[in-house]
Structure 1
Amino acid sequence: MAADTAVVWFRRDLRVHDNEALLEAADAEEVVPVYAFDPREYGEREFGGDDSFRFEKTGPHRARFRRESVADLRERLRERDSDLVVRHDTPERVVPAVAKVLDADEVHFGTLPIPEEMGVENTVRKRLRGLNVTPRRHWTHTLYHLNDLPVEYTEISDTYTSFRKTVENRASVREPLPEPDLPAAPVGAIGAGSIPTPEDLGVEEVEHDDRAVLRFEGGESAGIERLDRYLFAEDRLREYKETRNGLLGQGFSSKLSPWLNEGCLSPRRVRREVKRYERERVANDSTYWLLFELIWRDFFQFQFAKHGGDFFRRGGIRGRDDVHWREDDEGFRRWADGETGVPFVDAAMRELNATGYQSNRARQNAASFLANNLRIDWRRGAAYFETQLVDYDPASNYGNWAYIAGVGNDSRDRYFNILKQARKYDGDGEYVKHWIPELSDVPPGTVHEPWTMSEQRQAEHGVQLGIDYPEPMIDLEESYRKLR
């Protein structure tokens, strides 16, 4: 029997397509979509646990993207004669309050595996039951559905390759769900509300930086447009595996992660479009590799479902206590500001600060430098990425940082040789010079290690180390010797 009134609580699933929570709710006589801007997601907070520290939860780049995504969702719902109730308050207060005023029978929502998000969800569910409202959870965030895993999520392998082979051989991906026909949304009784301004959220409003690889515009509409542009309009997918380690330009990789992580794009829709591309254009290693990356994303989602808060411990899921992590506020500041004196790392951090984005290659090297070369608590770096990244996803971010720091899903040492990486992926120094203009006249063979220039050569190339650009804060080779 269909409910009279259903509420849909949107979280990180800001889309109309392939959204089980919205589709199931649409059977009701009335459906009211709701989104809550949780004040706890903005401003400074304690990391928590042993050896805690303070950090900013959500920075300006992701706050902008999220506000745009919510605005786009509201517009898409209004085009379907529905609406979106928006509030600036905790979901534990907003969702039960809306359900109570509307005398709702059910509240539908996507469930998420991160302990913090799960804690919010559990409180909402408890309060709904106290109002005699039925909470209905749906799994909406991954390529493979939780219920379709060949084994219980608590039994999945902690090694990616084993996990990938298991799901590829013994599971299947569901087809994307259709967009629902939505009934009336009686929001007049409670008011639709306005989307908070950056000032309301306590974040800075930032302008687009013309040096950025892409202007990441939030919302389902922009996500669908980006997917079509990358696959079909520009026909980039056929060379993805060869170009994915690029550093400059919008076309070297799909750059779908911001829309996937806020739920503006369904991973199943991405897969469907990849399969269509393979039918209509070409199927090769590159087309498979994009699906390979989506399975990586799934891997960390299910790993967090399995291990929970252990991923946020300094010793990680492996409980390592044999690494001496340093407390070095000045060293951390130099890393975060892009002032380490190691150009490849500094370019990556300056790009992150200015745009909220880094390529995967840049992220790995920047993370490895902090966690391995400096041996500064890796969680501080992961938390800084949480602040800055426009495409921050808790599982992918902390899972990858733990992996590189040697406390996550791989027992091997995962440190990167920064100079070798720089020469391989930025041989002409174009990326470094793009973000560090003070090195723009330094020749390609030297730009990644300017400290090798004599004072005379520095003068010839218009840069004086220690004045125009920092001296390196450590001896890289010596730091590697300590890791061996």
Structure 2
Amino acid sequence: MSYSVVWFKRDLRVHDHAALQQAAARGPVLCLYVLEPSLWAEPDAATQHLHFLRESLLDLHTELKALGARLHVVTGEVTDVLSRLMALAPFGALYAHEETGNAATYRRDLAVGRWCRAHGVDWQETPQFGVVRRLPSRQRWQSQWAAHTGAPCTLGPAALSPVPLPWREPAMPGAAQLGLLDPDPPLRQRGGRVQGLAVLNAFLHARSAQYRGGISSPLRAPSACSRLSPYLALGCLSLREVVQATRTHLAQLPPEATRQRQGLTAFMSRLVWHCHFIQKLEDEPELEWRNLHRGYDGLRDEAGNPARLNALMQGRTGWPMVDACVAMLRETGWLNFRMRAMLVSVAAYPLWLHWRPVGLWLARQFLDYEPGIHWSQLQMQSGTTGINTTRVYNPLKQARDHDPHGHFVRRWLPAMRRVPDAWLFEPWRMPPEVQARCGVRVGVDIAMPLVDLETATRKAKALLHARRAQPEVRAAKAAIVEKHGSRQRRTPARGRPGPAVDPGQASLF
């Protein structure tokens, strides 16, 4: 019997799943998800990613069951699984969505392509995001994004003609069996399409009114942000359906719903940036592990300062806003964009840490880890793209601007609850008698700052700007702008073209 295999990856849904639709139109299908031990051994994998995946697979299984099919979850390397399947039940075609993932998934996809060619299997890959494979130029990228997101969603087949797996597969392994020993954040979001749709509906109908003005505050952002990023990252929702649902809701808003309209309009711009950043990794996979602008090679030592990196990871930098963000990440797996940028800025400038080890740690901390966005942002905030304005977030200023009464730091750092308001932003300056009176020991209950913030930041900026001023570094900038720069432009008053939007201004979701 001739049949097709639908290989689910980061597209765990039935709705708007072009690969499933195309395979079903061809005939019987076997729905397959491969849990690949080699990917879970990568340094960017975490227990929370596995648990969110398991929850999402359960929802996908329920959806497929309603269509008369079954999701087969098999543990192994993809080419080994395909070889075993071919030996026991030969198939003619493999359907999947394109994926712009980390280097390991890139190598994996190349290996699958070679396997298909060697075995005469027709491998059909379909774009999932507004990311264009083998993009010749950025010039028309935005129109291609608009065409992708504007096309009708694939509704999915009414029923499937299923093919059984020709062997009995053991249960999906747990985190410890895959070598994942980090804890699962107790307050993280739960996976699956049902949860994703609930989050989308709550955002469109209510929470979007908080979006503008709320997404920068670590206190307000948990409800003001869309919180859709993990569901987009694992494909529980498609980008296209989110874009179209947002447009539909915008069109239905009454004239007086000004704040919702402003919030959803701003959110739409972030959906464009989502694919803009992933396109960078698609066009240049090396930016995951080397500087986008090679003129910045050697600026920071990748081996860096292990003691400083460890202090950052433990939330012991001594700057309350930074340490509170680390504590929130540990408990929730999420942090708003402004605070993410601040963490990377503190790591890159006063702590002078290379973005790569910091990025691997944060990849494990972020439930919504999306490689294209993640590594592009790590480099942009660290100043190694060569095309973005230097952004240095002062953690003391961020605290005063976004947590002036200390509600955020006191929520996540219990010792700060005993610190008097007068010492809220710089508790390490408390005199010994104040420490004794409030029962907080600087250097024990609250860490001493690792470096003098002002001095270390000034030195870091001087080093970066000296490198940036070198003629050969300046000369190489144009090629990077041509390949990776945004072509989106603002439309200011009177309709005159404005300056290009700086991607660093985007606060993703």
TM-score normalized with structure 1 length: 0.87
Aligned partner of 1:76 in structure 2 is 63
- CA 1:14/1:319 → structure 2, altered by over 3 Å: closer, same or farther? farther
Contact 1:6 1:31 in 2 (8 A): yes
- CA 1:407/1:207 → structure 2, altered by over 3 Å: closer, same or farther? closer
Aligned partner of 2:162 in structure 1 is 185
Aligned partner of 1:10 in structure 2 is 8
Q: Work out the CA distance in 1 between the residues paired with 2:422 and 2:23.
A: 60
Answering whether residue 110 of structure 2 is matched by residue 122 of structure 1, we say: yes
Shift of 1:205: 7.5
Q: Work out the CA distance in 2 between the residues paired with 1:431 and 1:324.
A: 32
Aligned partner of 2:132 in structure 1 is 146
Which AA in structure 2 matches 1:82? A
Answering whether residue 16 of structure 2 is matched by residue 39 of structure 1, we say: no
Aligned partner of 2:498 in structure 1 is none
Aligned partner of 2:235 in structure 1 is 263
Aligned partner of 2:278 in structure 1 is 301
Aligned partner of 2:248 in structure 1 is 276
Contact 2:149 2:240 in 1 (8 A): no
Q: Work out the CA distance in 2 between the residues paired with 1:310 and 1:169.
A: 26
Shift of 1:248: 3.4
Select 2:410's aligned residue among 430, 433, 457.
Answer: 433
Aligned partner of 2:138 in structure 1 is 156
Q: Work out the CA distance in 1 between the residues paired with 2:147 and 2:74.
A: 43
Shift of 1:59: 1.4
- CA 1:224/1:191 → structure 2, altered by over 3 Å: closer, same or farther? farther
- CA 1:267/1:171 → structure 2, altered by over 3 Å: closer, same or farther? closer
Q: Work out the CA distance in 2 between the residues paired with 1:169 and 1:101.
A: 43
Deviations 1:395-454 (A, max 9, x none): 111110000011126332122112111111111111111111011122445322112222
Aligned residue runs from structure 1 range 175-254, under 5 A: 175-191=152-168, 193-204=170-181, 206=183, 209=186, 212=187, 215-232=188-205, 235-248=206-219, 250-254=222-226
Alignment partner of 1:34: what SS?
Answer: strand
Alignment partner of 2:400: what SS?
Answer: helix
Shift of 1:258: 0.6
Aligned partner of 2:467 in structure 1 is none
Deviations 1:342-398 (A, max 9, x none): 111111112222332222122111111111111111110001112222111111111
Contact 1:68 1:217 in 2 (8 A): yes
Aligned partner of 2:90 in structure 1 is 103
Select 1:350's aligned residue among 307, 327, 337.
Answer: 327
Question: Which 5+ residue runs of structure 1 have no aligned equivalent?
Answer: 46-55
Which AA in structure 1 matches 2:279? F
Structure 1 range deviating more: 235-244 or 277-286? 277-286
Shift of 1:463: 1.1
Aligned partner of 1:137 in structure 2 is 125
Q: Work out the CA distance in 2 between the residues paired with 1:182 and 1:421.
A: 53
Q: Work out the CA distance in 1 between the residues paired with 2:58 and 2:82.
A: 19
Q: Work out the CA distance in 2 between the residues paired with 1:280 and 1:13.
A: 29
Deviations 1:200-239 (A, max 9, x none): 2222474653xx4xx411112211121112222xx11133
Q: Work out the CA distance in 2 between the residues paired with 1:176 and 1:460.
A: 63
Answering whether residue 377 of structure 2 is matched by residue 400 of structure 1, we say: yes
Q: Work out the CA distance in 2 between the residues paired with 1:319 and 1:100.
A: 50
TM-score normalized with structure 2 length: 0.83
Q: How many residues align?
A: 453
Structure 1 runs, 4 residues or longer, greater than 6 Å off? 166-172
Structure 1 range deviating more: 437-446 or 412-421? 437-446
Shift of 1:170: 8.8
- CA 1:265/1:172 → structure 2, altered by over 3 Å: closer, same or farther? closer
